[in-house]
């Protein structure tokens, strides 16, 4: 796990900017999930089970829970395809949240659910809101067909609603959803040639030299600072919808939920009783509701910053630890699970909302322009999913974030920054930027603007700040040094004789030097674990220089 030292501030809302060297091994979130165990044409089949087990919390508690998982005979394939089998990806018979199901637009999706819950829990089921579902087998339930204990039920629907969606139990929801029976389904758009329909025409229609915002999968260019090593592409698609406005460079899925341990304790104490009733034999009091654990993808901070699929959490495989480079368009897939609303606040910029529950928010003019608001917090409602775009550009930081400048009156960096109509250095600039440039999307108003009064190394001097030598700026195992995201960011963060030595600490200054912003619930009690801060719905969003290759393989 990692929780970087914050030398420029604290973890309060107004001062969440942190400069730090992020820890190895990599522990990135992406949007991991499974594709169909069986694919025939446009038919996709998943075999899931509902089963009990225990999940853990940072305070040491082991909480009896129920969750969806893959049946023992499933041969699930893992996505993104770049992950592969070497990353330790697993789909256990029970996990919280359930497996993220990744399908393509137009697929006929078949999900067979086996009920392996205790007999005392009774029947169970899955709802797929937003889809026209046909259910076969099982027993009649209030909202859908249900799988009896030891039995199965099959759900079939056409994935005609693109975007991010939730799925969850439709049986005794006040108990079963609370116990962990929920998950996500992502429907990927059909894109001709890997790009949205009409992208080239749309791109040209915006005006000469408009920024390039879309690349097909596995077509990302190598950066100038690392030309031999283009980053592996971990996206599921090049665009969230078949619309040029929804292209993205990186994506993450966040499912927000909560746990009232009193409910779980009641279920645990009654799990072994004999029962033949389809409604179960448990008597579980669910009100008043007092959750004390708050989860991002089934984990609380700091556990959510450990890698995906790490063996420490065998039934909580997904993490929450977003990385990005400056200027990248990052797709956020956010779902409210559980019973309560959760206001997720993303520091460093607002989020442009694209869609809710697969419904793209467009103007009524018919020109495919986005109409979604800019959100200070992406507040979730139970069962609601949303897609949005987040971008970090370093606009108005008031210093040259890439470290260009002069020292002793002599120019030491020849990089250009010609503003486009919006003030950024892009292909829309009168002297177009190369999309491979390390300062592509730089905010030109801050170009050459000095930060440090008397800096160590060749950066602009004459600024308002005096920073300590990177060799001595240390705080135990956490090491912070460089305010720069340029091609020599790691060099400037380490110094000539780093203390502590490179490779000996959790945050290795020789590998990753970036910014950390806290992303967290804006409900203060939800950033605690059993009333202890820090914890709960909190994670660190890491902005890495382009010289650092972000690895989302786990």
Please choose, from the candidates 542, 42, 70, 23, the residue with its C-alpha nearest in 3D space to the C-alpha of residue 322. 542
| Mean pLDDT computed over 44-68 | 96
Residue positions counted in the chain: 554
Rounded to whole angstroms, the maximal C-alpha distance in the chain is: 85
* CA–CA distance, 247 with 199 (Å, rounded to integer): 10
* CA–CA distance, 5 with 468 (Å, rounded to integer): 15
Residue corresponding to tokens 């602009």? 460
End-to-end CA distance of the chain: 13
| Mean pLDDT computed over 345-371 | 90
**In terms of C-beta density within 10 A (0-12 exposed, 13-18 middle, 19 or more buried), how is residue 532 classed?**
exposed
| The model's pTM | 0.92
Residue corresponding to tokens 């169909």? 36
Residue corresponding to tokens 């030595």? 501
pLDDT in tens, 123-171: 999 999 999 999 999 999 999 999 999 999 999 999 999 999 999 999 9
Please choose, from the candidates 529, 126, 476, 76, the residue with its C-alpha nearest in 3D space to the C-alpha of residue 302. 529
Domains and CATH numbers, the chain: 33-189 (2.60.40.420)
Instruction: State the DSSP H helix or E strand holding residue 112, giving kind and residue range, or none if neither.
Output: strand 108-115
The bridge status of strand 101-104 relative to strand 182-188 is parallel
The bridge status of strand 43-56 relative to strand 108-115 is parallel
Residue 183 Cα distances to 335, 367, 429, 464, 502, angstroms: 9, 34, 43, 49, 40
pLDDT for the residue 490: 77
pLDDT at residue 17 above 50? no
Q: Are the beta carbons of 506 and 513 closer than 8 angstroms?
A: no
Q: Are the beta carbons of 199 and 176 closer than 8 angstroms?
A: no
pLDDT in tens, 362-410: 988 777 788 999 999 999 999 999 999 999 999 999 999 998 887 766 6
pLDDT for the residue 214: 86
Can you tell me whether residue 168 is helix, strand or coil? strand
The bridge status of strand 374-375 relative to strand 329-336 is unpaired
- Paired tokens of 392: 């970090």
pLDDT in tens, 179-202: 999 999 999 999 988 899 888 777
Q: Are the beta carbons of 319 and 299 closer than 8 angstroms?
A: yes
* CA–CA distance, 9 with 17 (Å, rounded to integer): 6
Least confident of 4-13, 39-48, 410-419, 495-504: 4-13
Can you tell me whether residue 139 is helix, strand or coil? strand
Q: Are the beta carbons of 538 and 295 closer than 8 angstroms?
A: no
Q: Are the beta carbons of 174 and 286 closer than 8 angstroms?
A: yes
Q: Tally Cβ neighbours within 10 Å of residue 89.
A: 20
pLDDT in tens, 302-321: 999 998 999 999 999 999 98
pLDDT at residue 210 above 80? no
């Amino acid at each position: 796990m990692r929780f970087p030292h914050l030398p420029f501030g604290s973890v309060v809302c107004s001062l969440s900017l942190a400069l730090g060297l992020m820890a190895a091994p990599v522990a990135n979130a992406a949007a991991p999930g499974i594709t169909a165990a069986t694919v025939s044409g446009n038919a996709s089949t998943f075999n899931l089970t509902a089963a009990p087990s225990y999940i853990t919390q940072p305070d040491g508690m082991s909480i009896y829970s129920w969750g969806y998982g893959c049946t023992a005979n499933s041969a699930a394939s893992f996505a993104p395809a770049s992950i592969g089998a070497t990353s330790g990806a697993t789909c256990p018979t029970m996990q919280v949240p359930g497996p993220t199901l990744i399908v393509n637009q137009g697929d006929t999706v078949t999900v067979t659910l086996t009920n392996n819950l205790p007999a005392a829990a009774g029947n169970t089921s899955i709802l797929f809101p937003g889809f026209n579902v046909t259910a076969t087998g099982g027993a009649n339930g209030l909202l859908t067909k249900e799988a009896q204990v030891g039995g199965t039920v099959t759900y079939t629907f056409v994935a005609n609603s693109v975007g991010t969606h939730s799925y969850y139990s439709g049986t005794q929801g006040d108990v079963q959803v609370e116990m962990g029976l929920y998950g996500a389904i992502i429907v990927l758009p059909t894109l001709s040639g890997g790009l949205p329909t009409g992208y080239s025409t749309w791109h040209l229609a915006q005006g000469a030299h408009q920024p390039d915002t879309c690349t097909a999968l596995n077509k990302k260019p190598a950066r100038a600072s690392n030309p031999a090593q283009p980053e592996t592409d971990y996206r599921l698609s090049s665009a969230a919808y078949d619309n040029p406005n929804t292209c993205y460079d990186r994506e993450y899925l966040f499912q927000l939920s909560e746990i009232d341990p009193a409910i779980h304790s009641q279920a645990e104490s009654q799990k072994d009783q004999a029962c033949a009733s389809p409604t179960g034999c448990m008597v579980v009091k669910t009100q008043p509701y007092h959750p004390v654990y708050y989860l991002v993808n089934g984990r609380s901070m700091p556990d959510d910053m450990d890698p995906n699929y790490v063996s420490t959490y065998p039934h909580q495989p997904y993490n929450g630890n977003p990385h990005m480079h400056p200027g990248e368009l990052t797709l956020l897939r956010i779902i409210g699970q559980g019973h309560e609303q959760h206001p997720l606040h993303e520091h460093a910029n607002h989020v442009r909302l694209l869609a809710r529950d697969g419904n793209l928010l467009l103007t009524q003019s018919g020109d495919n322009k986005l109409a979604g608001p800019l959100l200070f917090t992406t507040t979730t409602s139970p069962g609601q999913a949303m897609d949005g775009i987040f971008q970090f550009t370093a606009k108005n930081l008031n210093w040259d974030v890439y470290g260009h400048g002069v020292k002793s009156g002599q120019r030491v960096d020849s990089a250009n920054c010609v503003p486009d109509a919006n003030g950024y250095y892009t292909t829309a600039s009168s002297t177009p930027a190369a999309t491979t440039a390390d300062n592509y999307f730089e905010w030109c108003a801050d170009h050459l603007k000095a930060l440090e009064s008397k800096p160590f190394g060749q950066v602009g001097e004459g600024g308002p700040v005096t920073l300590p030598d990177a060799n001595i700026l240390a705080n135990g195992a956490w090491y912070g040094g460089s305010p720069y995201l340029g091609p020599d960011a790691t060099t400037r963060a380490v110094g000539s004789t780093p203390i502590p030595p490179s490779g000996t600490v959790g945050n290795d200054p020789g590998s990753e030097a970036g910014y950390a912003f806290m992303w967290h619930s804006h409900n203060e009690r939800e950033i605690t674990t059993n009333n202890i801060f820090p914890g709960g719905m909190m994670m660190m969003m890491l902005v890495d220089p382009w010289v650092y290759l972000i690895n989302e393989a786990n």
